[in-house]
């Protein structure tokens, strides 16, 4: 599309709108994702070692007050063989059958971390499609409407034919959260707090705790139809433990195997997860950390063990996280699709995937760009845990804990300590590596062309001195858009970012043209009712094309990981890296 001639001021406004969702330092607007290749040896970087010492000090200060809580914290880069950080605390007080030394082999109850395995089972077995109605695999769900009381309607009964596999993975099905925690089944007298007396037909009579029998699949289908939906499908996220159980039922139907047998064959065995179990506790209680007075280690949640009752340890959870980022069980396209948000929540810093709890922050690294953290928490009794995957850096963080001082806040605050200390240092390691591998000046004397790539506090490379055939490319940026016969006086800052495209020795990067000063961009943001509204990198890349080739495409030719030359396809020049 060609845009007609405009005045200098309107051209400037248009460029500001099409270039620019959160903005980074000084109004820079990198694409979402990594802005430098992840460092392959982060542990050897001096600042990373400093950060590890800082995290260790904070951990020791935290656990100095832990009398009954065991906790394990670990961080691993997928590019290194061993964890860069591993910290454990054994409290002085624990169950007399508990391990006496907490380490990477110590088994914890991991709660809803179990939901990752339910979704991964759906993705690995190859028979199920996320867009399929769940009734294709679990047709018995259709019969639940008959149990609605007093009659099935939009308020009292789930429209199961509208519930998809994907909606169950991402808490978007609208179904109820639980069944086994129905208060009516427990021995307390809840009529004292205003609730009515119930007959046995209004009680599940099972839970797996307090002397009650374990809830079975049969009891799920007997009773869950009596529960009302919270929303119609795909309305709002509602956390549901039952959803994972239903996914487990579907996997059994699709594979003609029991859920635990399939997970063992498809996930545990390939990843050598020898200390992770679903429906049974470890053979020896001394293999696990068990807080004093605990009732959860060894108890069964019945069918809800699928989404909330597994056992595992630091070593195995690190293996799981690494396998996801390394595409060991899924092809790269499926992994990339999986590692994306499905829905937002009331918190702008918290989105949901399947089953990811995606934290978003632009306050951690010096370049102030938005980074996504793919987490899954797991809480059961006093067991509080989290796994955190940071795809931008190839990092896996695990925190497993249990005991009287353990809580959601304990895990969240510990994760914050780890991330805020380590990530700026690992970002610095990535910049050091990128400067060595790709930075510097590239030139071709025959065409009077050159360009300089340098590292600063901003995201990606700063691009300066970009000249092709004697023409200053940045100074003439507006001419490439054919937007106006008059040049714009708005300054242009060019940054260079990696893509995930490579072939042989060739590695593709993309430039982004940031039009406007930081002050001008801030003024544009202030005039919009949504945050950082001038940041549109996703809509602005690959917009300037000449002879089918994009002006912003850069292709490095490398040898043993080091750039030797840089090709600019649209300009038909190749620049050699100056030594």
Can you list the alpha helix ranges (DSSP code H) found in 157-313? Answer: 165-169, 217-223, 241-255, 259-263, 305-308
Query: What is the pLDDT confidence band of residue 20, given thresholds at 50, 70 and 90?
Result: very low
> Of 304, 299, 279, 275, which Cα lies nearest the Cα of 288?
275
Please list, in sequence order, all residues whose beta carbon lies within 8 angstroms of the beta carbon of residue 125, skipping any fewer than 6 positions away.
Answer: 251, 254, 255, 262, 266
Residue 100: burial class (beta carbons within 10 Å; 0-12, 13-18, 19+): exposed
Quick one: pLDDT at residue 482?
A: 59
- Beta bridge partners, 310, equal 111
Look over the chain and give the mean of its residue pLDDT values, rounded to a whole number: 93
Mean pLDDT value of segment 418-446: 98
Query: What is the pLDDT confidence band of residue 1, given thresholds at 50, 70 and 90?
Result: very low
Sketch out the chain's domains with CATH numbers. 8-40+437-577 (no CATH), 70-180+215-404 (3.40.710.10)
Quick one: pLDDT at residue 208?
A: 84
Secondary structure E strands in 526-578? 545-546, 549-550, 553-559, 562-568, 573-577
Q: Check whether the bond before 191 is cis (ω within 30° of 0).
A: no
Q: Residue 487 pLDDT > 90, yes or no?
A: no
Give the Cβ contact number of residue 379 at 10 Å.
19
Q: Residue 29 pLDDT > 90, yes or no?
A: yes
SS3 190: helix
What gap in Å lies between CA 429 and CA 242, rounded to an integer? Answer: 43
Quick one: pLDDT at residue 488?
A: 62
Quick one: pLDDT at residue 516?
A: 93
Q: Residue 345 pLDDT > 60, yes or no?
A: yes
Q: What sign results for the dihedral spanned by CA atoms 202, 208, 214, 216?
A: positive
Query: What is the pLDDT confidence band of residue 490, given thresholds at 50, 70 and 90?
Result: confident
Q: Residue 307 pLDDT > 70, yes or no?
A: yes
| pTM of the predicted protein model | 0.93
Quick one: pLDDT at residue 489?
A: 75
Provide the percentage of residues in the chain whose pLDDT is more than 90: 90
What gap in Å lies between CA 372 and CA 386, rounded to an integer? Answer: 15
Q: What is the pLDDT of residues 366-395, one digit of tens each?
A: 999 999 999 999 999 999 999 999 999 999
Quick one: pLDDT at residue 209?
A: 80
Do 324 and 389 form a contact (C-beta atoms < 8 A)?
yes
What gap in Å lies between CA 83 and CA 277, rounded to an integer? Answer: 23
Q: What is the pLDDT of residues 513-565, one digit of tens each?
A: 999 999 999 999 999 999 999 999 999 999 999 999 999 999 999 999 999 99
Q: What is the pLDDT of residues 437-466, one digit of tens each?
A: 999 999 999 999 999 999 999 999 999 999
Q: Residue 163 pLDDT > 80, yes or no?
A: yes
Q: What is the pLDDT of residues 212-259, one digit of tens each?
A: 999 999 999 999 999 999 999 999 999 999 999 999 999 999 999 999
Quick one: pLDDT at residue 116?
A: 99
Q: Residue 21 pLDDT > 80, yes or no?
A: no
Provide the b/e sequence for 273-288 (b: ≥16 CB within 10 Å).
Answer: bebbbbbebbeebbbb
Mean pLDDT value of segment 302-311: 95
């Amino acid at each position: 599309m060609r845009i007609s001639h405009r005045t200098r001021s309107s051209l400037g406004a248009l460029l500001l709108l099409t270039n620019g969702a959160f903005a980074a330092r000084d109004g820079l607007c990198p694409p979402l994702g990594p802005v430098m290749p992840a460092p392959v040896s982060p542990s050897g970087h001096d600042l990373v070692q400093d950060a590890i010492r800082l995290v260790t000090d904070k951990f020791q200060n935290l656990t100095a007050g832990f009398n009954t809580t065991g906790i394990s914290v670990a961080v691993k880069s997928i590019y290194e063989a061993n964890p860069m950080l591993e910290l454990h605390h054994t409290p002085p007080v624990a169950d007399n059958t508990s391990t006496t030394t907490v380490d990477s082999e110590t088994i914890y109850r991991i709660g809803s971390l179990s939901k990752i395995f339910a979704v991964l089972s759906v993705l690995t077995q190859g028979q199920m499609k996320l867009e399929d109605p769940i009734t294709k695999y679990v047709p018995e769900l259709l019969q639940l409407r008959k149990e609605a009381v007093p009659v099935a309607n939009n308020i009292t009964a789930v429209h199961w034919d509208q519930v998809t596999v994907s909606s169950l993975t991402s808490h978007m099905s609208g179904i109820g959260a639980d069944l086994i925690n129905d208060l009516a089944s427990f021995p307390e007298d809840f009529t004292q707090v205003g609730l009515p007396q119930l007959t046995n037909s209004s009680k599940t009579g099972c839970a797996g705790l307090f002397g009650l029998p374990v809830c079975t699949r049969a009891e799920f289908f007997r009773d869950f139809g009596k529960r009302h939906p919270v929303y119609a499908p795909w309305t709002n996220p509602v956390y549901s433990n039952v959803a994972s159980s239903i996914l487990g039922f579907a996997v059994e139907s699709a594979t003609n195997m029991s859920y635990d047998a399939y997970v063992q064959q498809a996930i545990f065995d390939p990843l050598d997860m020898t200390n992770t179990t679903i429906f049974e506790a470890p053979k020896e209680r001394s293999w696990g950390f068990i807080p004093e007075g605990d009732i959860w280690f060894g108890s069964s949640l019945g069918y809800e063990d699928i989404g909330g009752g597994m056992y595992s340890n630091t070593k195995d959870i690190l293996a799981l996280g690494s396998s996801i980022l390394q595409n060991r069980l899924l092809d790269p396209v499926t992994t990339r699709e999986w590692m994306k948000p499905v829905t937002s929540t009331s918190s702008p810093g918290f989105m949901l995937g399947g089953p990811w709890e995606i934290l978003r922050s632009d306050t951690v690294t010096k370049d102030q760009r938005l980074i996504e953290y793919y987490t899954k928490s797991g809480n059961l009794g006093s067991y509080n845990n989290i796994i955190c995957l940071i795809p931008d850096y190839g990092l896996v963080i695990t925190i497993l804990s249990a005991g009287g001082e353990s809580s959601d806040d304990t895990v969240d605050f510990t994760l914050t300590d780890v991330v805020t200390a380590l990530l700026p240092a690992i970002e610095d390691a990535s910049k050091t590596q990128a400067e060595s591998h790709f930075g510097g000046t590239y030139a071709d004397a025959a065409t009077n062309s050159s360009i300089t790539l340098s590292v600063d506090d901003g995201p990606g490379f700063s691009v300066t001195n970009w000249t092709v055939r004697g023409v200053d490319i940045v100074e003439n940026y507006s001419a490439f858009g054919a937007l106006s016969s008059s040049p714009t006086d708005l300054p242009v800052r060019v940054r260079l970012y990696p893509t995930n495209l490579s072939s042989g020795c060739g590695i593709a990067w993309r430039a982004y043209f940031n039009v406007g000063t930081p002050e001008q961009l801030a003024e544009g943001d202030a005039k919009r009712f949504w945050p950082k509204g001038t940041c549109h990198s996703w809509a602005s890349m690959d917009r300037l094309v000449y002879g089918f080739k994009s002006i912003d495409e850069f292709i490095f030719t490398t040898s043993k990981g080091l750039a030797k030359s840089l090709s600019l396809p649209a300009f038909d020049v190749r620049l050699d890296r100056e030594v």
